[in-house]
Structure 1
């Protein structure tokens, strides 16, 4: 390794292994998120850390002793395959739950989710509350975050719930303060994944309760980035199913957690504020919020993965598309849509975000009076999107296409076909 030469995920993980630090300890030492280190471990040489992070790795390599550097060089010499064999299989132990395929919603699963949330809320309210076991839980949570954007929401619920219940069972017993804080962080992250999955499925009331659980857990820690993240993600719920005013309030609350700080959470929150303000018709406010989001993205540099909670250039374009579409600035919206779809082609496993961008494009067609083009595009999106990802949040945006069609054009054949497709339940999740 030559200092100043770009690091890959493999080299970063090799340094972690050489220092004999856990994922959490190594992330804390560098000042990065645990999911960043987990992403390096998942992608190895295919991942390139951000420039600032590479400087941190350079500095750490200089600071470690000769013995650590020798282990680091040995791991590099052995290669990635040998690195994989070094990992103990016991550290990957997890409660295995098979996702249950179903037509519509699994009532029993929803009931279990409600019961779990109630118990967790009581535990947190009572001052929630092994280090090795907490390490395992944190690594498993980081893995869930990495897989989330490619996992159907019903599967997320089935796989994340056992992890949460395991954390909760330990939290019911009084733990040292440092352990309690870590358990609350894991609870917040897993609770946030459940809340977001429920939101996608249209379970808005349950989602709102779970966002509250995640917020309570995050506020039980000193992690302001996590507090901001929970509030920023929560802002999505009222945007799609409730009041844009509430979405603005939550987005601003998220930014207040990290004032004047460039972070994935503040970038998301600023973009969410812009989109909600646009729906309220506040064009000036929306433009200012979008500018803040752009400044944060420029300061962060582009994200190296599609993991949940990362806010990258292409995700900014998704929000910019929604903002400009809500304002009726269709020419500007199309430019953002084209750029966003071009970037998403590099992530074929991500299907919902580009579908939402295309539905924005369909709304723009409708606003411009191109009714047939609007309906044909919306129909194509709904029929080609995998059934497990055709969730309520997608259908809500598809309904907005019909709403954008001027009254005289709603009798056209293509409009009727789109209505029938939606009425037939083409968007029902499985």
Structure 2
């Protein structure tokens, strides 16, 4: 069997056209054609990238290319080879100075090749960054289950790229992309009530963000992760995560620190710390006023005035300030009404209203509003996070409340789980 057949068969089995494989490896299509025809042989670092792309071991790659590894043999009159010098050192016999220099001479180009190796062209990196930006814009308008299927493809593709040694700048960009995709995945799983899986993906997002050195991204991951314990408990953990996010950017006014402060305030209110909640929300308001909003105002992880009102709604509901709470909620719902494709946030605000009614001992009205919110949502948006918030309404009902509305709301939650 010719090299052309072996290499082309391996490429086809891996699902690549010549053009796609060239793009993956950062080479020209004609280069792949020459490899398959036997006109040229991939360099060592190219063979490593090629093996990764085709899913082959190093040995299988050598065999596919028709290469037979050979061991250097000394002969009379030859200078000692760097390999033999290394072997002599390994056996405990010191190498001569000339041998060591030869070893260093041989090692240097190998290191240069490794550092210069990349399977990712600048154009491919631009395409990845473009897709990430698109995901951030569409995320808030896409059901979580649908979004997960979209994210999975890019997660696998970028992981394959990151597994190959890349230059530091490229690797940092890939780690940033991995962090964002992991964070979107964790958030979607959180909404679906997949608590364990969400926690694991938040952990992955942390690892990837920490690999970038980007403090804003590291803080963003921790601030977003605070939503998991806020909705599913323990709430004190939400405070810890929100504070750890702010500690990464002390005194910095940004959308990230505004989100972290708002997350802290909302959680403190649930824990009964009214003074701490007010202080945190004041900080969040100040940061929102000072921060420069970039990108789409309703993209995932953007924290603007409208999102601040969502967090204020949750905070004030538990601070026993009905008049102020009503003003905030009405303003928020009016802003969200201008964009009907944003579904989950206004539903959560209305459920805050239902919690407020329950705390005010208006049980019938609270249960009626909560049931209307849930049943009016499209089925794909009746997620566990919405049901968790609906269960907060049940918990807020006074003990002496009529049993029928409580039972009906509890049954509705059960049928949607």
Structure 2 contact 348–386 (Cα < 8 Å) conserved: yes
Q: Deviations over 1:296-322 (max 9, x none)?
A: 111126675210011011111110110
Residue 215 of structure 1, CA deviation = 0.7
1:140 aligns with 2:144: no
Aligned partner of 1:330 among 313, 322, 327: 322
Q: Normalising by structure 2, report the TM-score.
A: 0.70
Residue 222 of structure 1, CA deviation = 2.1
Moved over 6 A (4+): none
Q: State the superposition RMSD in angstroms.
A: 1.8
2:303 counterpart residue number: 311
Q: Normalising by structure 1, report the TM-score.
A: 0.67
Distance, in Å, in 1 between the alignment partners of 2:281 and 2:137 is: 26
2:151 counterpart residue number: 160
Aligned partner of 1:246 among 214, 237, 261: 237
Aligned partner of 1:230 among 221, 234, 243: 221
Bigger Rg over Cα: 2
Structure 2 contact 254–292 (Cα < 8 Å) conserved: no
1:258 aligns with 2:244: no
Classify the secondary structure of the residue corresponding to 2:212. coil
1:339 counterpart residue number: 331
Structure 1 contact 302–313 (Cα < 8 Å) conserved: no
Residue 242 of structure 1, CA deviation = 1.9
Structure 1: unaligned runs, 5 residues or longer: 1-89, 94-128
Classify the secondary structure of the residue corresponding to 1:134. helix
Distance, in Å, in 2 between the alignment partners of 1:191 and 1:420 is: 34
Classify the secondary structure of the residue corresponding to 1:238. helix
Residue 332 of structure 1, CA deviation = 2.1
Aligned partner of 2:363 among 362, 365, 371: 371
1:423 counterpart residue number: 414
Distance, in Å, in 2 between the alignment partners of 1:364 and 1:258 is: 34
Distance, in Å, in 1 between the alignment partners of 2:292 and 2:230 is: 27
Structure 2 contact 317–352 (Cα < 8 Å) conserved: yes
Q: Deviations over 1:172-198 (max 9, x none)?
A: 111100110000000000000000000
Classify the secondary structure of the residue corresponding to 2:400. helix
2:348 counterpart residue number: 356
Distance, in Å, in 2 between the alignment partners of 1:280 and 1:414 is: 27
1:279 aligns with 2:279: no
Aligned partner of 2:383 among 377, 391, 398: 391
2:141 counterpart residue number: 150
Distance, in Å, in 2 between the alignment partners of 1:410 and 1:171 is: 58
Q: Could you tell which deviates more after superposition, 217-226 or 301-310?
A: 301-310
Report 1 or 2 for greater relative contact order, CA contacts < 8 Å, sequence distance ≥ 6. 1
Distance, in Å, in 1 between the alignment partners of 2:159 and 2:256 is: 26
1:29 counterpart residue number: none
> Kindly tell me: are residues 165 and 302 of structure 1, through their superposed partners in 2, closer, same or farther at Cα, counting changes over 3 Å?
closer
